[in-house]
Amino acid sequence: MKITKKEVEHVALLARLKFSEEEKETFVKQLSGILGYVEKLNEVDTSNIEPTSHVIKMQNVFRDDVVTDSLPREKALSNAPDKTEKFFRVPKIIE
């Protein structure tokens, strides 16, 4: 599997990552190498095999609808890089 520089740029945008030209070249090589290795999964016949997303068979874990304590606002905001008294502050989104 050969992955192109254009694909690296596309995936980087999806992943919200930014790379220098040199880093992109490294990724072209390394990701192609790793994906080449992963190709070996195609040797395995998986027809009629259910995919496993979780090893424990459990579904829909419910709890009673009761009010419990939640994180106080000051604590939730305590690590924010930019904030007002009550809110996280982000760069302007709407013109």
Partner 1 sequence: MELYKLTIHELHEKLKNKEISAKELTESVFKRLSETEEKIKAYLTITKDEAQKETEEADKNIKSGNASPLTGIPLAIKDNICTDGIKTTCASRILESFIPPYDAAVITKLKKSGYILVGKTNMDEFAMGSSTENSAFGATRNPYDLDRVPGGSSGGSAAAVAADECIAALGSDTGGSIRQPAALCGIVGMKPTYGRVSRYGLVAFASSLDQIGPLTKDVADCAVMMNAISGHDPCDSTSANIPLPDFTKSLVKDVKGLKIGIPEEYFIEGIDKDVDKAVRDAIKLLEGLGAESVKIKLPNTGYAIATYYILATSEASSNLARYDGVKYGLRAEGKDLIDMYMETRAKGFGSEVKRRIMLGTYALSAGYYEAYYKKAQQVRTLIKMDFDEAFKKADVIITPTTPTAAFKIGEKTQDPLQMYLSDIFTISVNLAGVPGASIPCGFTKDELPIGLQIIGRPFDEETIIRTAYTFEQSTDWHKRKPNL
Binding mask 52-71 for partner 1 (x = CB under 8 A): xxxxx-x--x-x-------x
Binding mask 9-48 for partner 1 (x = CB under 8 A): -xxx-xxxxxx-------x--xx-xxx-xx-xxxxx-x--
Rounded Cα distance, 33 and 31, in Å:
5
Rounded Cα distance, 84 and 74, in Å:
11
| Residue closest to 41 by CA, chosen among 49, 64, 24 | 49
Q: Is 88 in a helix, a strand, or coil?
A: strand
Residues that bind partner 1 (CB under 8 A): 3, 7-8, 10-12, 14-19, 27, 30-31, 33-35, 37-38, 40-44, 46, 49-56, 58, 61, 63, 71, 75-76, 78-82, 88, 90-93
